[in-house]
Amino acid sequence: MKYLIILIALIALGTIAYFALGGPAAEPVLAPTQEEEEQLPVAEPQTLSSGTTVTYSDQGFSPSQVTVSVGDTVRFVNQSSREMWVGVDEHPTHTKYDGTSKNDHCPGTTAFDQCARSGPGTSWEYTFTKTGTFGYHNHAGAADVGVIVVQ
Amino acid sequence: MRSPLTLPVPELLLRTGVAFSFLYPPFSALGDPYSWIGYFPGFFMSLAGANNVLMLHAFGIVEVSIALWILFGKNIFIPSVLAGVTLMAIVLFNSPQFLVIFRDVSIALAAFALAYQHKPQTH
């Protein structure tokens, strides 16, 4: 019985470690070529001349990682059936952008934090003003995550 | 129902530790529900729709029930297993947030220790 419990615990920890350290293969960074951009359907979100669009669906954020320049605006479009609240990591404090927590910087526009829920069909934009790699998540569904690299 | 103060100190500490992890979230959720709603799996959120806060508080009642059962119950095998499974499920469904929720693994194992201590006797 004791060995069985130890075995179950090890399997559980191994499973957790798999998801936590590696997990399923990350979605590749999308850098659409001119040809790919032209093939995009009109209704689909696409890279805009004024910024980058990240789509939030029931499967999560797509692309899961984007690279932008300082001063670029990223638009997050909620095409899911759920609510979206984009917030920089970690959940739930959102301190990894400028050191302030959600309770300090919300409501506001300084931190990479939507500071509010938005329903399906809505969008939210944020302009990045400093370089860095910023992990983010949906505050209303913390398993859905993404990364913005600002160069 | 038994007074927790009659328990041996190690078991009292174990029960209190596990129960606390189920008592804090539902009360914290009264003031900041979306910090806790975020841990529900996506399909739960889709099912709940606009009633997601209601679902959170309903789950809070379950959490308080488990906590009180563990704290005051005589035979606590069932609530301890429920506690352990719930915590492991939270970890598995929120693996991208493992940096924050890794402690849930420890609490889950403490809950399983309580369950083992109170496993039904076979004669």
From CA A146, how far away is CA A88, in angstroms rounded?
9
- Among A27, A144, A77, A65, residue whose Cα is nearest residue B39: A144
The structural domain count of chain B equals: 1
From CA A50, how far away is CA A14, in angstroms rounded?
44
In terms of residue numbers, what domain contains B91?
A: 8-117
pLDDT: is A23 or B99 the higher one?
B99
**Are A138 and A79 in contact, with CB atoms under 8 Å apart?**
no
Q: Is residue B110 part of a domain?
A: yes
Q: Is residue A13 part of a domain?
A: no
From CA B67, how far away is CA B17, in angstroms rounded?
10
Q: Is residue B45 part of a domain?
A: yes
Looking at chain A, how many residues does it have?
151
**Are A87 and A79 in contact, with CB atoms under 8 Å apart?**
no
Residue A129: its pLDDT value, please?
A: 92
Tell me: pLDDT of B111 over 70.
Answer: yes
Q: Is residue A110 part of a domain?
A: yes
Residue B49: its pLDDT value, please?
A: 81
Could you say which residues from 60 to 99 on chain B have a Cβ atom under 8 Å away from some Cβ of chain A? 88, 91-99
Tell me: pLDDT of A19 over 50.
Answer: no
pLDDT in tens, B64-81: 999 999 999 988 999 999
Residue A144: its pLDDT value, please?
A: 95
pLDDT band, residue A33 (cuts 50/70/90): very low
A65-68 and A141-150 strand pairing: parallel
Q: Is residue A146 part of a domain?
A: yes
Q: Say if residue A71 is exposed, middle or buried (CB neighbours under 10 Å; 0-12, 13-18, 19+).
A: exposed
pLDDT in tens, A54-90: 999 999 999 999 999 999 999 999 999 999 999 999 9
CATH number, domain at A47?
2.60.40.420
pLDDT band, residue A8 (cuts 50/70/90): low
Residue A108: its pLDDT value, please?
A: 79
For the record, the structure tokens of A34 come out as 């001119």
CB contact under 8 A, A16 and B112: no
pLDDT in tens, B6-36: 889 999 999 999 999 999 999 999 999 999 9
Distance, in angstroms, between A69 CA and closest chain B CA?
26
Q: Is residue A104 part of a domain?
A: yes
Could you tell me which chain B residue has the CA closest to the CA of A116?
A: B34
Q: Is residue A11 part of a domain?
A: no
- Dihedral sign, Cα of residue B105, residue A16, residue A66, residue A44: negative
Q: Is residue B122 part of a domain?
A: no
Which pTM does this prediction carry?
0.75
Neighbours of B30 (CB within 10 A): 11
ipTM of the complex: 0.80
Q: What DSSP letter does each residue of B20-85 carry, written as one string?
A: HHHHHHHHHHHH-THHHHTTS-HHHHHHHGGGHHHHHHHHHHHHHHHHHHHHH-SS-HHHHHHHHH
CB contact under 8 A, A91 and B41: no
Residue A109: its pLDDT value, please?
A: 76
Neighbours of A6 (CB within 10 A): 10
Q: Is residue A12 part of a domain?
A: no
Mutate one of A18, A65, A82 to test the B interface: name it (highest B CB count within 10 A).
Answer: A82
In terms of residue numbers, what domain contains A72?
A: 29-150
Q: Which of A19-28, A57-66, A108-117 has the lowest mean pLDDT?
A: A19-28
Q: Is residue B111 part of a domain?
A: yes
Q: Is residue A73 part of a domain?
A: yes
Residue A84: its pLDDT value, please?
A: 95
Residue A126: its pLDDT value, please?
A: 95
Residue A30: its pLDDT value, please?
A: 33
Tell me: pLDDT of B108 over 60.
Answer: yes
Cβ neighbours of A144 in B, within 8 Å: 42, 96
Q: Is residue B52 part of a domain?
A: yes
Residue A66: its pLDDT value, please?
A: 95
The structural domain count of chain A equals: 1
